[in-house]
A and B are shown apart, each in its own frame.
Chain A
Amino acid sequence: MALPAAFRIRPCGDAALTVEFGDTVDPDLNAQVLGLDADVAAAKLPGVVETIPTYRSLFVQYDPVAADFASLSQALQSLAENAKPHAASGRCWRIPVVYGGEMGFDLEDVARTHGMSPSEIAKRHQAATYRIYMIGFTPGFAYLGGLDQSIATPRRAAPRAVTPPGAIMIGGVQACVQCQAAPSGWHVLGRTPMRNFLPSREPMFLMAPGDNVRFHAIELRDWPALERDAARGLPVAELVSA
């Protein structure tokens, strides 16, 4: 594949580097990142410890005793030149969400911003198929692309000190599934009982970059039972073919 003009490989200290395909949020860039990520995993390059696929770059952690920056960069560049863009993993998570009310305390504000009803916002949020661009910030926090542009909403002027675990949020053109409580300037539309990250469960993480995500509304009365199941380690979200 032709490398974008902005392609470059830069050191992140002596034991990591970043392969940058660009500096924008763009599904094509992300597909190139995920394509290279898959090829790096398959190539088993000496010294490579682990990787983080991000929106627009592949972070590569390596052992400087087993690999040096110059030769690893060369190997990664030739893998990138031959990598096929990789749009999705073929997996899709159907995630249950309680919209609005105490679970989604920003839904009404967002609806007012767009002159729509809260249920219309929730409907449009559920109509899209999202792709997980990357997982980061806090354990299990999934950054999603694919938000319906008609409900894209600038971040809050004053970020909240805490948003709850399982918060289903949108910020600008981005959407997310949050796993752990964290400060955020994004808008909380709802909450899922799903725990993408649960240290007592094997696997500890469920979703991976490149997976698709769809949301479906559940009733508040269904929450307690699903939350109990999730705490016991059940996925709660349904895994289907994309």
Chain B
Amino acid sequence: MSVLRIDAAGPATSVQDGGRFGFLRYGLSSAGAMDRTAHETANALVANASQAPVVEIGPFPARFAAEVGPVRLALAGAARAADIGNRRVAFGESFVLAPGEVLSLGAARGGVFSYLGIAGGIAGTPMFGSFSVHARADLGSPLPRPLAAGDKLEVAAADPHAGEWRLALPPQDTSPIRVVLGPQDDWFGDAAVAQFLDAEWQVSPASDRMGYRLLGPKIAAARGHNIVSDGIALGQIQVPGDGQPLVLMADRGTTGGYPKIAAIVSADLGRFAQTPAGTNVRFAAVPIDDAQRIARHWRQKLAALPLARETAARPPPTSEALLAANLAGAAVNALDPKLWTHNE
């Protein structure tokens, strides 16, 4: 056994896994990693099960130290400077933190959440099927709250004989965030829906794991902003009376009485969650059938992450090899190493 000690975390760092399911009907949302692609990538890099718990690191600088024994780690998600002493650590590649060493991370750049995969996982008893911290509900394991300086996580000791893994990370995608309209788009009327899709929105600093507020033109629903409360999906966009949309995220309330104009497609939710406050974002509507094809394609890509993993000593896979592994064409450009050296 080893220990991962948290020396600095910022206010938005917590243990997360794939989420907690089955309690929506009781008012409890799933929690879980905000960027599922980055979460599963971090796990693939340390050869964990895809839904294993990781440390989701908020946008502020953070420091982690190994105690007792070595810890094998890997970083994915929002880019940031990463150093162990004067040794640079690359995203998308596993590494060992020896006892006494400190991993120092800068503030997130061009993103919000980074994910720290820990080989062998984090010790703890899942609470109702999940490690995920849901701060408002006092749930989570091993701690039912976000991490703070001084916390210690019991983790598996790194296998000294195991090699390191690397994975070509996808390139930054700045295309519009895709949404499916509904269920109450008819409450808004065509003009308001068009206005929502045409607008350039800015993510408000008043955003967290519960929801992201968007600043932009005032969206007025033709039939008003009060509906009889109904269920709220992950990524759903509700518009209260002030006309400023709120995107409901992993720690959301499960029901609400504002009309919902659209919902972000699963494949783009992580990318949206990685939009820093003050950054602009646009939306594009896709039909439900297309959205579901996109969802299935994305899930295939996630399932293929362990296949795409390469031992770090070997050269990165060729684009032909990636295509043969049934990966998306979009991953090919990720082989440009310039995209993945974040420590310039």
A interface with B by C-beta (< 8 Å) = 10-18, 20, 23-25, 49-57, 59, 61, 64-65, 68-70, 134-141, 143, 179-180, 197, 199, 204-205, 208-209
Contacts and interface: CB of A to CB of B under 8 A. Distances in A.
Taking each of A14, A61, A69, which has the highest tally of chain B beta carbons within 10 Å of its own beta carbon? A14
Interface residues of B, number: 47
B91 to A, nearest CB: 28
Interface stretch (B48-56, B104-112, B132-140): B132-140
A114 to B, nearest CB: 25
Interface of B: 21-28, 127-128, 136-139, 144, 179-180, 182-184, 227-236, 253-256, 260, 263-266, 288-289, 291-292, 294-296, 299
A102 B299 CA distance: 53
A199 to B, nearest CB: 5
A205 B139 CA distance: 13
A135 B296 contact: no
A61 B24 contact: yes
A242 B144 CA distance: 36
Chain B interface mostly: mixed
A140 B26 contact: yes
A61 B252 CA distance: 15
B26 A197 contact: yes
B309 to A, nearest CB: 22
Contacts of B230: 18, 20, 54-57, 59
A135 B25 contact: yes
A204 B144 CA distance: 14
Contacts of B139: 199
A127 to B, nearest CB: 26
B27 A136 contact: yes
B255 A139 contact: no
Contacts of A141: 27
Nearest to A61: B24
A143 B229 CA distance: 10
Contact of B25 (A12, A13, A52, A55): A52
A134 B255 contact: yes
Contacts of B138: 199
Contacts of B137: 139, 180, 197, 199
Given A24-B228, A64-B292, A12 B21 contact: no
A25 B233 contact: no
A10 B295 contact: no
Contact of B228 (A11, A23, A139): A23
Given A50-B25, A197-B26, A138 B180 contact: no
30 contacts: A11-B263, A11-B291, A12-B231, A13-B233, A14-B266, A14-B295, A15-B233, A15-B295, A16-B231, A16-B234, A18-B183, A18-B230, A50-B23, A53-B25, A54-B229, A54-B255, A56-B228, A64-B296, A65-B295, A68-B289, A70-B289, A135-B25, A136-B255, A138-B27, A197-B28, A199-B127, A199-B128, A204-B23, A204-B28, A208-B26
Contact of A13 (B128, B236, B255): B236
A18 B256 CA distance: 13
B295 A64 contact: yes
A130 B233 CA distance: 28
Given A65-B295, A69-B288, A12 B183 contact: yes
A225 B154 CA distance: 37
A22 to B, nearest CB: 8
Contacts of A53: 25
A197 B23 CA distance: 11
A4 B142 CA distance: 48
A12 B266 CA distance: 11
Contacts of B144: 199
Contact of B182 (A12, A55, A143, A209): A12
Contacts of A137: 27, 229, 253-256
Contact of A16 (B179, B233, B256): B233
A204 B128 contact: yes
